[in-house]
Structure 1
Amino acid sequence: MKLLKTVALAGGIAALPALALAQDAAATGEAAAHTSYILTTLLFLIGGFLVMWMAAGFAMLEAGLVRSKNVAMQLTKNIALFSIAGIMYWLVGFNLMYPGDGWSIAGYLGAFAPTVLEPVGVGADATDLGYASVGSDFFFQLMFCATTASIVSGTLAERIKLWPFLVFVVVLTGFIYPIEASWQWGGGWLSEMGFSDFAGSTLVHAAGGFAALAGAIVLGPRIGKYNKDGKVVPIPGSNLALATLGTFILWLGWFGFNGGSQLAMGTVGDVADISRIFANTNMAAAAGAVTALIVTQLVYGKADLTMVLNGALAGLVSITAEPLAPSLFQALIIGAIGGVIVVVTVPLIDKMKIDDVVGAIPVHLIAGLWGTFIVAWTNDGASYGTQLVGFFAIGIFVFVVSLVVWLLIKAIMGLRVSEEEEINGLDMAELGMEAYPEFSKG
């Protein structure tokens, strides 16, 4: 008996190092999980406030590209739409975009409830921390929703009433955007089909472009934009310095837009991928700007600053569907073709008598199509056909629903200011104030 006890004791002592190693391994794994949670949460928060900064970029870009008599109206629309998006995405959008019970009726019904955050002071011992905090995920995704609405604002500038526009924003940010985004990012049918849109060339940018296109068709062009012969009459913006500032702000915010869409920062590989995304994003923007600069010089005999600004933005939209996989050279090609698209399609849109004040449809919709399609060039698992199916499925849904909503708003509230109000400027007609009261109207 003593011998058995001695052997058992010796065996137990011998097992202690192994037990200690197992405990150390478990502790190390737990620490790694907590570190990943913290870093990914931080990525969402930093990426989110960078994308929020894009709201300022859109506001400055639009303020610079409209006439001075409409600047205050554009600024009001931009801060209002961002704020409405924040409320609507909390109220219904976030849960609608990520159905809690799969793709059943119960999942969608469960979406009609406000988003709930973690308890205050939640600790590392929580049973299910997830990969990042709910608050950071909600905040990051919200910024994409608001960006979609910002795209619509610029196209419809200088002739739309304030409150009908904001009613549309309620529907867009609460329902239209979350539903179509759920098809891909919420694990829906496009995701299962193999469609790929890394950061939203289609889900955000083209969707905003389709909503803007529907609105422009219903609203009609500005007074004096097209003469009786159908010739386009240029209407210069009020402040190209502001427009340039807005473009640089958008360029900066795009690093959060694309980089944050890596959705993880807990490993060396994730961080390396984020840096690669940053480099490719910058390259595409630069290539789009330079290409637009060169093409406008060749075509018009003079470089066109507004085309260069939109060329940079088109390069950014083009790389957004897949900013990780391309090489820097491929990113340059993708962005450069985006710059060409803008120079070519802006006059084409005008020939169709679709009045897009800031060029958002060429930049976000057409370049979004290009960026989505070309994903198959750099991603072995992607299909050109599947990419087109995804793009047009989302495009048809957003355009048709937006068209119906615009028509309903027009019938119920009216959309457009009177001819006299449009000529005098929306600042005074809709707001009773001017952005530049010391200057004459322009």
Structure 2
Amino acid sequence: MARRYFGTDGIRGTVGQAPITPDFMLKLGWATGRVLEPRRQRARVLIGKDTRISGYMFESALEAGLSAAGVDVMLLGPMPTPGIAYLTRTFRADAGIVISASHNAYQDNGIKFFSAEGAKLGDEIEERIERALDETLTTVSPRELGKASRVDDAAGRYIEFCKSTIPDRVNLHGLRIVLDCAHGATYHIAPAVFKELGAKVSLVGAEPDGLNINQEVGSTHPAALRAAVIQQGADLGIAFDGDGDRVLMVDADGHEIDGDDMLYLIAKDRHERGELGGGVVGTLMSNFGLAAALESMGVPFERAKVGDRYVMERLAANDWQLGGESSGHIVCRHVQTTGDGIVSALQVLSYMVREEKPLSRLLHGFEKAPQSLVNVSLSAGVDAKAVMADPSLEQATRAVEAELGDEGRVLLRPSGTEPLIRVMVEGRPHLDVEGLARRLADDVRELVG
């Protein structure tokens, strides 16, 4: 069946617009409860959220829908998305639900689902939920209604889990770290993790008010973190997105360390210690330099379509442990079932501490090909797929590819989370990838008006 609601990263939209309304969330909770096959006599679902103001409203709606279907609900409150994946497993719940629009602004929201194993729901379950949404909502008998409870120690449980993902002998004593929590779900988790491991921590973006999530802070706006690291003379900075599944870093000089850099460092560390367990999965956006560096170490590298779901699919198919995106969504399957910003940062810091070298030294010799990414906004009602299929755009793309020859590549793709078409051009240093990307972006803008 054609998908109406579920994208590659759950269900997203602007609050108040279809389908992101309280009525829809109520029905979604009920439909989910109808589809779940409980491990025990009664199904149990965890609900967590980030810090945007609409989370309170949607939490109540989902809770009511699940209860009407006879499902018990455990409310976690503000919690990073990977924390909900972890707690879904540890509580032996039948599913976990995250209310979050990740790196988007506060007026957007969305829903992500995790299976009992802490992985994204499979297509078959999502399709069954979509079919159930067409049914008439009927409430179970009063005796069968689901119960709701709050999990008071959810934050503490996840903090201890994060700390457990690096060896006990590794501590962060002496490191001065700036954390940017994007006014999001990591604001009460990340500071505790890094402080308890011994680091001296200062904070940016750790005062959520429901409206400021991702506002000029976080992994999509690193300028605030960069300035704080330089001003304070810190050893490094770490920035998360609104729901804590993405991360980027900056070194002591303020240079950005993106997902490709971190994948390289984690892979190099684990490869040198004989613990990598296969190859690395990147995406179509991963830099040429990452593929070349891994291949020079004898580490296989494979590209998946953009999106953590596709990265996870290839990791599972190959039985590999490490993969991710240049945006900072990194999956370390040896310790976690989904992308986890805190856990990924700890893997890098663990390598840094063992080697007793700053980030810049660890990255010495790793060279990325120049890459230019331009986002073209789409007006309401514009069909991104139709734009991508336009013959004039295909011709313009071929012209740029001809100029690059075998020394570069072009990638155009619709965003999976925002009304954008992303234009990426990558090539050897002597090529004007920035100018070519701008030219192709102008062609897209002309098509979309």
Question: Does the pair score TM above 0.5?
Answer: no
Higher strand share: 2
> With CA pairs under 8 Å and 6+ residues apart, which has the higher RCO, 1 or 2?
1
Higher helix share: 1
Which bracket does the TM-score occupy, shorter chain normalised? Answer: under 0.3
Query: Normalized against structure 1, the TM-score is what?
Result: 0.24
